[in-house]
Amino acid sequence: MSGSMDIEALGVFQIFTGGGTGTGFLIDSTRLVTNCHVVAPYRTVAVELRDKRRVVGKVRRKGPVELDDMKFLRRNTARKAKITLPGPFTMAQQAKNEFYADDDEMVMDLAAAVNEEAHDLVAAGADVIQLDEPWVRNDPEAAKRIAVKAIDRALLGLSVPTIVHVCFGYAAVVHADKPSGYSFLPQLADSTAAQISIEAAQPKLDLGILADLAGKTVVLGVIDLGDQTVESPELVARRIGDALKYIPAERLVPAPDCGMKYLTREVAFGKLQALSAGAALARRQLS
């Protein structure tokens, strides 16, 4: 709870819970947070873990996964609250299909399960729903075929603002040089998501690609999570200014590149302070 209160104090626009971020999906004896569950025999999707174990079951949602997290957050803040869910395409990319005749059918079943979870979270007080879809980069051809359709299914009927987040992976995990462009990004302009969230600071993204996201609000990473040094407000404002060459201010939301769980609390807090101060400086420069 203290973490959420700290974030409020910084003046950051939206609040995050710790659940469902990036590719850090967990397993227990009965379920994956990806909503792939053990159900009936002979109707199987196999999910292969790092130790090569597999958990099988037809994709369906047996019950809520992040609902308690959302209820806890709602009890402890009156501010706007955003909660994240793993996207259906990303989950499918981490699963080994041993049941469905068509991989795309598996993706769409995952999307339906995510949609049920999202509706429960909105009912519990979520103001914004975000889908994390970092693995669209893993198979851009498959992403072009099914990712937007699956995203739209996962977001179907939601009454709150929606976001799709893409990135190249946690800086603490992905040590190699990150590319300066995405193999799948402009296509997200055709999704029903209101906002597209992208990692940009660490990979030094060519921001010209923002022009391809016409009509979308862009949640732009201006905080580099691969660098333990806390940015100055001036650097953050400069990164915001670079983005404003391609999209108008009313469609830009400055943000960290991705999740901050690998940073120390001190560094993470400092970077959020820099984000808030840098955004304020950018606003003053525009006025």
Q: For 172-205, how does the pLDDT look when each residue is reduced to its tens digit (9 = 90+)?
A: 777 667 887 899 999 999 999 999 999 999 999 9
Q: Is it true that domain 2-30+61-286 has CATH number 3.20.20.210?
A: yes
Consecutive H or E run containing 87: none
CB 113 within 8 A of CB 57: no
* C-alpha closest to that of 135 among 109, 172, 165: 165
pLDDT in tens, 226-247: 989 999 999 999 999 999 999 9
**Angle, in degrees to the nearest 10, between helices 265-286 and 233-243:** 60
Angle, CA of 194, 137 and 28, to the nearest 5°: 85
According to the model, what pLDDT value does residue 56 have? 54
Indicate the pairing of strand 46-48 with strand 15-16. unpaired
CB 209 within 8 A of CB 182: yes
According to the model, what pLDDT value does residue 67 have? 95
Question: In what side-by-side order are the strands of the sheet with 81-86?
Answer: 15-16, 81-86, 128-132, 162-166, 195-198, 217-223, 252-256
Determine the Cα–Cα distance for residues 54 and 46; give it in Å rounded to an integer: 6
List helix spans (H) across 39-172.
Answer: 67-76, 88-93, 103-123, 140-142, 148-154
According to the model, what pLDDT value does residue 63 have? 87
pLDDT in tens, 77-118: 999 999 999 999 999 988 877 778 888 999 999 999 999 999
Indicate the pairing of strand 46-48 with strand 54-56. antiparallel
Residue 51's pLDDT band (boundaries 50, 70, 90)? very low
Determine the Cα–Cα distance for residues 39 and 253; give it in Å rounded to an integer: 41
Consecutive H or E run containing 223: strand 217-223
According to the model, what pLDDT value does residue 252 have? 97
Determine the Cα–Cα distance for residues 147 and 111; give it in Å rounded to an integer: 10
* C-alpha closest to that of 87 among 190, 171, 182, 193: 193
Helix, strand or coil, per DSSP, at residue 132? strand
Determine the Cα–Cα distance for residues 104 and 82; give it in Å rounded to an integer: 28
According to the model, what pLDDT value does residue 138 have? 87
Q: Would you say residue 25 has pLDDT above 50?
A: no
Helix, strand or coil, per DSSP, at residue 219? strand
Consecutive H or E run containing 82: strand 81-86
- Written as one letter, the residue type at 89 is F
